[in-house]
Amino acid sequence: MANLAFESAVSLASKVRDKEISAVELLEFYLQRVERHNPALNAIIFTQIEKAREQAQTVDEALANGDVLGPLHGVPMTVKDCYDWVGSPSTWGNPMFKDNYPKRDALAVERLQNAGAVIFGKTNIPLMLADWQTFNDIYGTNNNPWDLARAPGGSSGGAAAALAAGLTGLEAGTDIGSSIRNPAHYCGVFGHKPSYGVIPDQGRFLPGVFASIDIEVGGPLARSAEDLAVSMDVMAGPGGLDANGWRLDLPAPRKSSPKDYKVAVMLTSPYCEQDDELTDRLQNTVDALAHAGVQIDD
């Protein structure tokens, strides 16, 4: 049963649709893991348990009536603190905003829930989402599940740590300067920074701010590449007034084989010393890619 915690969101949704497990049972399974493992990690910093249980019950009732809500039907998930989720504060890790309770869900949150996801909590961030570690004065320090003495990265550190520890099935993060990619790397999970504007930013603003933040984007973190593709399809596309003026039509991937890809490699940098163990690990990865047929550019 423990392996269930580390399955992809696509697999979890399939199990719910096939009635191998109910959405309610799957939610309770993850909540038990959160209760057991989150105190040491401090990755999930706010929950709405009863709200999530009601949503899971609604998902199960829909399936009993022959309705599948979407590709994330019954998947328990969390979202980064900066996404507005009614009933929870959007603090950005800043004590000034600890009582900032939005009155409407972020558009991406609405879309995830409409696709069947059961959101039960929010994940930790650094102050103003502006660091490659995850600590703030409201919620404290978030640790890396592989080594509690180390950082999970940032700013979507809680998101990556919760996924790596099997505490959530899927996550929604944000990224300007590696805030999805950095913690995904630190924790060994999948993350994707989409092109600017692909995922709408409505419901992801500080109080009193209404203009988009230049180059900041929302994007998914997950335990598989397939999950990234599915959740991207769910969250992407214009919203609000924008939806009257344009639509998103993402093309299919043009590449289908490892040999179609080229990877640039920089193993060391004069600006950042590192030990041989890390360099060797990186070289092992490069060698594996080359063995798979990827074009390597040094």
pLDDT above 70 for 2? no
Determine the pLDDT at residue 8: 98
For the annotated catalytic residues, the residue numbers are: 80, 155, 179
One-letter amino acid of 58: T
Could you give all domains of the chain from N- to C-terminal order, each with its CATH number?
2-244 (3.90.1300.10), 258-297 (no CATH)
The Cα-based distances of 103 to 15, 209, 212 in angstroms read 33, 15, 19
Min mean pLDDT across 44-48, 125-129, 208-212, 253-257 is at 208-212
For 111-140, write each residue's pLDDT tens digit.
Answer: 999 999 999 999 999 999 999 999 999 999
